[in-house]
Amino acid sequence: MIALPKPTFNALSPSILSANQLILGEQIKTVEILGASWLHIDIMDGHFVPNLSFGPATVKWVSTATKLAQDVHLMVEDPQKYLDAFIKAGASSLTLHVESKGNLRELLEQIRAKGVSTGISIKPDTDPNVLKQFLDIIDLVLVMTVYPGFGGQAFLENAQKQISEVKSIIAERPIWLEVDGGINKDTAKIAKEAGANAFVAGNALFAANDIEQAFKDLKDAIK
């Protein structure tokens, strides 16, 4: 298990949700060689969001295929059920939604105790002030810039405002401000100007005709 680095640079995090699952290993190698900062792994349970995706087995197999850290985004109703399995599988960070059930503070403490990085995510309509109670126990805030559930959606208009609010809450603390959903070379710039320093990209990379060019464009946008 590789924990996330400290936020001293702008990170690009390819989301494997949009990768071709038949050649997942190759796709991961491609973004690793191009200079991905880590991988974003979307976990969906069909309840918290109306879609299904991966489980701990994917995290385990991915960890055998790459040295990149895995930023695991839990879009599940009851995260407590799955923490141990994802930690055992090799997750580098576990991000819980503030809208999920359970004692999130306790869960974050459990995750930290295992040496895994911690994150809290907020959906587009959630008041960023809820983050204040977790600032001492998180390494990352994940701001959803689309309604979670599917790749390939458009960056929401009010996302910029939410990112700025989150940035002013995080202030100078060493906490990543990661954005997720509809990130491309144009929206990445908007998000960066609002204060983001980590950028998840699914479709903008894996659905591009030229992934190398798409990667370069995104890197330029967040430089």
Q: Which residues are catalytic?
A: 42, 180
Report in angstroms how near the CB of residue 52 gets to ligand DX5 at its nearest: 12
Q: Report if residue 45 touches Zn ion, rule: CB under 5 A.
A: no
Among 70, 160, 180, 222, binds ligand DX5 (CB under 6 A): 180
Q: Report if residue 97 touches ligand DX5, rule: CB under 6 A.
A: no
* Contacts (CB under 5 A) with Zn ion, residues 117-146: none
Alpha-carbon distance of 63 to 88, in angstroms, equals: 11
* Residue with smaller CB distance to ligand DX5, 20 or 133: 20
Of the candidates 31, 44, 113, the one whose C-alpha atom is nearest the C-alpha of residue 75 is 44
Total residue length of the chain: 223
Of the candidate spans 55-63, 69-77, 86-94, 187-195, the one that interacts with Zn ion by CB under 5 A turns out to be: 69-77
Q: Report if residue 17 touches ligand DX5, rule: CB under 6 A.
A: yes
* Residue in the block written with tokens 């204040």: 132
Output 127-135 pairs: Cβ under 8 A, ≥24 positions apart: 128/162, 128/165, 128/166, 128/169, 129/169, 130/98, 131/98, 131/166, 131/169, 131/170, 132/169, 133/105, 134/98, 134/104, 134/105, 134/108, 135/169, 135/170, 135/173, 135/175
* Contacts (CB under 5 A) with Zn ion, residues 170-189: 180
Q: Report if residue 40 touches ligand DX5, rule: CB under 6 A.
A: yes
* Residue with smaller CB distance to ligand DX5, 153 or 164: 153
**Closest residue to ligand DX5, Cβ-based?**
202
Q: Report if residue 58 touches ligand DX5, rule: CB under 6 A.
A: no
Q: Report if residue 192 touches ligand DX5, rule: CB under 6 A.
A: no
* Contacts (CB under 6 A) with ligand DX5, residues 102-161: 146, 148-153
> CA separation (Å) from 40 to 29, 199, 200?
14, 10, 7
Partner that binds at residue 11, options Zn ion, ligand DX5, none, CB closer than 5 to 8 Å by kind: none
- The strands making up 117-122's β-sheet, listed across from edge to edge, are 11-14, 198-201, 176-180, 140-144, 117-122, 93-97, 70-75, 39-44
Residues that bind ligand DX5 (CB under 6 A): 15, 17-18, 40, 42, 73, 146, 148-153, 180-183, 200-204
